């Protein structure tokens, strides 16, 4: 940290630098260690983990947890459902959000102020759980795959991010020039605006993707059927309700210490298996992040 | 092009608002969203006079305020620290690391707490044991619930929330640092007199927004962290609405409690906005 760069800096600044280094190391450890621990615990002997012997490296290498996880039918169903909801959901999200953001970004669109107000109000005020639930029931969206896709297809926060970006990145003159050549708003949107907006499309795309992947609430409230349950509900059963693998290593809390130990190893494995896909997507889009978040930051 | 979005927002956001009148009527499934006979404030009275009311309010406010008081400044401090790291590689690594937990789902996050904090088998349990705290079950304790909730929230989202402040800090004119140095300011004084004023508007806006959510305390995480032993401190308004409404089907009563919650949120938001407009001329609208 440019320690050598400044020869005559005061003692106070040196202390300051040292404090920063210590703080950063502390923050790094606090955040990284639990994540690292889950990884090593998932491939270690569960007895050694539960007695506190696994601290820095995996011990008694064992893939028992993963073995059990991949045998479990619920995980596969959950995985399949979540992938469908995530891909279809994100696609619909972008399909609804981006054109709306484009239209709202055009200064010549008269109704834009009014529509923005209409949208923004919903960020602060809503009908609440019960009226929403009754509406979903009335529309026959309960116990239905579309409840994951349609009702939340436009997120206002993401809409604002996209709109702000389009407003700044696509100058008015660009459309004016294109319209001279007979370009309609629709072709302009497809052929010019979207290709120029890759960064913001990937940022809000990722936001939507992560939200769908991690969505637990929708299924908790609106889904009863087992065959429609997404991964997060299956995870809740395994991680929190301790419904570990009937017929397998453990059948729950009262099966004794033996079962609990194996149950824990399965839990470490499940955490990794369910989070890995998101963590794999993240680095590819990370470079756009700060830019995207900055654009969408405050201005409504 | 904006038409599909308008339809979705009207149908799924505004129609339920229209359905709020359910809180003032008796729910009648044949009449749907707007309910049956008019009952006025009956369900509100029922809630306010309920023996659970005081506890629910206390728990909701405690959790929300603790989240704001501890959770709100954390990303600001983190951003100020990260901003001091001049070695790019280290800064990038640290940033990537602190962003990561944000992508963990709430279910997995609570599952993580369960395995790590378990008194017999979790690593934190072992550390506590080693420190001589003995078998302290943080997951089932009424004392530990709020600290565990708030600290794990900071762990998960602090890094992510710092992005916005880092973005604001990156726009500070470098000349300001130079002139501060000429005036004899140390590093600490530069933070105080250059960095903090630079991100002040961002801080205020984000603060107003978070105050608007004071009673909206995250349903999912509280719900998942609840167990029979910590219920006295973990039952909050939103979880109660879910239990009364979706589980016990008392739609009108539950809708009234939900509306009560929304109204208080809204009052907080308006009040904070007014205060900040007086104090600093910054306002949401």
Q: Locate A200 and state its tokens.
A: 């913001």
Q: What is the pLDDT of residue A95?
A: 94
What is the rounded radius of gyration, in angstroms, for the C-alpha atoms of chain B? 23
The answer to whether the CB atoms of B123 and A159 lie below 8 A apart is no
Interval A118-135 mean pLDDT: 86
Residue A5's pLDDT is: 46
State residue A300's pLDDT score: 35
Q: Which residues of B touch A189 (CB under 8 A)?
A: 1
Question: Do A89 and A212 meet the contact criterion of CB atoms below 8 Å apart?
Answer: yes
Q: What is the pLDDT averaged over residues A24-46?
A: 90
Q: What is the distance, to the nearest Å, from the Cα of residue A83 to the centroid of all Cα atoms in its chain?
A: 13
- Residue of chain A whose Cα is closest to the Cα of B100: A279
Interface contact flag, A122 B19, Cβ < 8 Å: no
From the CA of A200, how many Å to the nearest CA of chain B? 16
CA dihedral B95, B101, B104, B105 (to 10 degrees): -120
Assign 3-class secondary structure to chain A: CCCCCCCCCCHHHHHHHHHHHHHHHHHHHHHHHHHHHHHHHHCCCHHHHHCCCCCCCCCCCCCHHHHHHHHCHHHHHHHHHHHHHHHHHHHHHHHHHHHHHHHHHCCCCCCHHHHHHHHHHHHHCCCCHHHHHHHHHHCCCCCCHHHHCCCCCCCHHHHHHHHHHHHHHCCHHHHHHHHHCCCCHHHHHHHHHCHHHHHHHHHHHHHHHHHHHHCCHHHHHHCCCHHHCCHHHHHHHHHCCCCCCCCCCCCCHHHCHHHHHHHHHHHHHHHHHHHHHHHHHHHHHHHHHHHHHHHHCCCC
Quote the pLDDT of residue B266: 84
Greatest mean pLDDT among A121-135, A166-180, A253-267, B74-88 lies in: B74-88
Does A38 score more than 70 pLDDT?
yes
Length of chain A: 300
Length of chain B: 285
Alpha carbon dihedral A38, A40, A41, A42, in 10-degree steps, equals: 80
Find where tokens 């106070």 sit: A12
The string of pLDDT tens digits covering residues A13-31 is: 788 889 999 999 999 999 9
Q: What are phi and psi of A169, to 5 degrees?
A: -90, -25
Residues from chain A contacting residue B1 (CB–CB below 8 Å): 99-100, 102-103, 185-186, 189
* Residue B247 CB neighbours (<10 A): 9
Using the beta-carbon criterion (under 8 Å), do A274 and B166 form an inter-chain contact? no
Closest Cα of chain A to B51: distance in Å? 22
Q: Is the pLDDT of residue A256 over 60?
A: no
Residue B110 contacts residue B225 (beta carbons within 8 Å): yes
| Residue among A9, A18, A127 with most chain B CBs within 10 A, to mutate | A127
Q: How far apart are CA B91 and CA A24, in angstroms?
A: 9
Of the residues B21, B123, B178, the best mutation for testing chain A's interface (the one with the most A CB atoms within 10 Å of its CB) is: B123
- Check if B77 contacts A (Cβ < 8 Å): no
pLDDT value of residue A257:
45
Q: ipTM for the complex?
A: 0.85
Q: Rounded distance, CA A70 to CA A242, Å? A: 17
| CA-based nearest distance B232→chain A, Å | 19
pLDDT at A247 over 50: no
Closest CB to B108 among A109, A135, A235: A235
Q: How far is CA A136 from the centre of its chain?
A: 24
For residue A52, pLDDT beyond 80: no
Residues in chain B with pLDDT < 70?
134, 215-217, 285
Question: Could you identify the residue written with the tokens 């009956």?
Answer: B42
A297: nearest CA in chain B? B164
Structure confidence at residue A259 as a pLDDT band (50, 70, 90): low
Instruction: Please check the confidence at residue A73 and state whether its pLDDT lies above 90.
Output: no
pLDDT digits (tens, 9 = 90+) for B4-27: 898 998 888 899 888 888 888 888
Instruction: Check CB contact of A288 with chain B, cutoff 8 Å.
Output: no
% of chain B beyond a pLDDT of 90: 25
pLDDT band with cut points at 50, 70 and 90 for residue A255: very low
Residues of chain A numbered 27-56 and touching chain B (CB < 8 Å): 27-28, 30-32, 34-35, 37-38, 41, 49-50, 52, 55
Chain B residues close to A47, C-beta within 8 Å: none
CB contact under 8 A, B114 and A216: no
CA atoms within 13 A on the CB side of A260: 14
What's residue A26's pLDDT?
94
pLDDT at A244 over 60: no
Token representation of residue A180: 């001279």
Minimal CA separation from B135 to chain A, in Å:
14
pTM: 0.86
pLDDT per residue over A144-156, tens digit each? Answer: 999 999 998 999 8
Q: Which of A124-133, A225-234, B102-111 shows the lowest mean pLDDT across its residues?
A: A124-133
Distance from CA of B12 to the nearest CA of A (A): 6
Banded pLDDT at A169 (limits 50, 70, 90): confident
DSSP-derived 3-state class of residue B74: helix
Higher confidence at residue A238 or residue B75?
B75
Q: Check: CB of residue A158 under 8 Å from CB of residue A208.
A: yes
Distance between B76 CA and the closest CA of chain A, angstroms? 14
Residue A253 has a pLDDT of 43
Question: Which residue is it, tokens 């001091």?
Answer: B84
Using CB atoms, which residue from A16, A232, A293 is nearest to B167? A293
**Which residues of B are less than 8 Å from A115 in CB distance?**
2, 6
> B270: nearest CA in chain A?
A124
Cα A67 to Cα A64: distance, rounded to the nearest angstrom: 5
First-to-last alpha carbon distance for chain A, in angstroms, is 38
Report the distance separating Cα A124 and Cα A107, nearest Å: 25
Cβ–Cβ gap B262/A216 under 8 Å: no
Q: Mutate which of A46, A101, A130 to disrupt the B interface (most B C-beta within 10 Å)?
A: A130
**What pLDDT is stored for residue B59 in this prediction?**
92
How sure is the predictor about A94, in pLDDT bands with cuts at 50, 70 and 90? very high
Q: What is the average per-residue pLDDT within A84-92?
A: 95
Which B residues, 99 through 118, put their C-beta within 8 Å of a C-beta on chain A?
99-101, 103-108, 110-112, 114-116, 118
Chain A 222-261, CB below 8 Å of chain B: which residues?
Answer: 232, 235-236, 238-240, 260-261
Q: How confident is the prediction for chain B on average, in pLDDT?
A: 86
In terms of Cβ atoms closer than 10 Å to its own Cβ (0-12, 13-18, 19+), residue A50 is buried
C-beta separation of B235 from B63 below 8 A = no
pLDDT, tens only, B18-61: 888 888 888 877 777 777 788 888 889 889 888 889 999 999 98
Helix, strand, coil share of chain B (percent; to 5): 75, 0, 25
Comparing CA positions, the residue from B204, B199, B131, B207 lying closest to residue B171 is B199
Predicted confidence at residue A4, as pLDDT, reads: 45
- CB distance B14–A13 less than 8 Å? no
Do the Cβ atoms of B58 and B201 come closer than 8 Å? no
Identify the CA nearest to A190 among candidates A275, A269, A99. A99
The minimum CA-CA distance between A90 and chain B, rounded to whole Å, is: 14
């Amino acid at each position: 940290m440019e320690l050598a760069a400044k020869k005559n800096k005061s003692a106070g600044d040196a202390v300051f630098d040292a404090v920063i280094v210590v703080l950063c190391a502390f923050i790094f450890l606090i955040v990284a260690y639990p994540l690292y621990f889950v990884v090593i615990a998932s491939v270690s002997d569960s007895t050694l983990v539960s007695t506190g012997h696994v601290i820095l490296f995996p011990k008694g290498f064992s893939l028992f947890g993963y073995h059990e996880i991949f045998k479990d039918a619920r995980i596969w169903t959950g995985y399949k459902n979540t992938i469908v909801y995530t891909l279809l959901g994100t696609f619909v999200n972008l399909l609804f959000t981006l054109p709306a953001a484009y239209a709202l970004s055009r200064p010549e669109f008269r109704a834009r102020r009014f529509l923005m107000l209409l949208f923004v109000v919903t960020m602060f005020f809503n009908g609440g759980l019960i009226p929403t639930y009754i509406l979903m029931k009335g529309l026959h969206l309960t116990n239905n795959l579309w409840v994951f896709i349609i009702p939340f297809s436009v997120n206002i926060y993401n809409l604002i991010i996209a709109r702000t970006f389009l407003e700044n990145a696509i100058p008015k003159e660009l459309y004016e020039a294109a319209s001279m050549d007979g370009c309609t708003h629709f072709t302009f949107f497809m052929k010019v605006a979207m290709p120029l907006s890759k960064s913001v499309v990937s940022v809000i795309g990722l936001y939507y993707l992560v939200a769908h992947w991690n969505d637990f609430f929708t299924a908790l409230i609106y889904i009863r059927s087992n065959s429609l349950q997404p991964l997060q509900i299956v995870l809740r059963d395994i991680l929190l309700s301790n419904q570990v693998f009937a017929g397998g290593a453990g059948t729950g809390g009262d099966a004794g210490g033996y079962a609990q130990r194996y149950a824990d190893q399965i839990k470490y494995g499940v955490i990794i298996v369910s989070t890995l896909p998101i963590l794999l997507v993240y680095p590819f889009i990370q470079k756009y992040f700060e830019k995207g978040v900055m654009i969408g930051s405050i201005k409504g | 092009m904006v038409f599909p979005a308008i339809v979705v927002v009207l149908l799924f956001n505004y129609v339920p608002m229209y359905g709020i009148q359910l809180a003032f009527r008796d729910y009648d499934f044949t009449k749907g969203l707007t309910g049956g006979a008019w009952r006025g404030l009956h369900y509100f009275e029922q809630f306010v006079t309920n023996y659970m009311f005081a506890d629910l309010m206390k728990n909701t406010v405690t959790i929300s305020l603790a989240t704001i008081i501890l959770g709100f400044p954390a990303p600001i401090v983190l951003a100020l620290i990260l901003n001091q790291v001049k070695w790019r590689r280290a800064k990038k690594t640290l940033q990537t690391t602190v962003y990561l937990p944000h992508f963990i789902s709430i279910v997995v996050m609570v599952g993580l707490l369960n395995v790590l904090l378990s008194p017999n088998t979790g690593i934190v349990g072992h550390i506590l044991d080693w420190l001589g705290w003995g078998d302290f079950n943080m997951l089932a304790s009424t004392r530990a619930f709020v600290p565990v909730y708030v600290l794990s929230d900071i762990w998960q989202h602090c890094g992510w929330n710092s992005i916005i402040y880092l973005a604001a800090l990156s726009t500070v004119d470098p000349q300001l640092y130079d002139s501060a140095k000429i005036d004899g300011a140390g590093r600490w004084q530069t933070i105080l007199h250059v960095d903090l004023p630079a991100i002040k508007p961002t801080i205020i806006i984000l603060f107003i927004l978070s105050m608007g959510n004071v009673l909206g305390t995250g349903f999912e995480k509280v719900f998942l962290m609840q167990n029979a032993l910590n219920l006295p401190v973990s039952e909050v308004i939103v979880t109660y609405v879910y239990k009364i409404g979706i589980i016990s089907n008392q739609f009108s009563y539950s809708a009234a409690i939900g509306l009560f919650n929304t109204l208080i949120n809204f009052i907080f938001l308006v009040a904070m906005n007014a205060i900040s407009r007086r104090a600093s001329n910054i306002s949401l609208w």
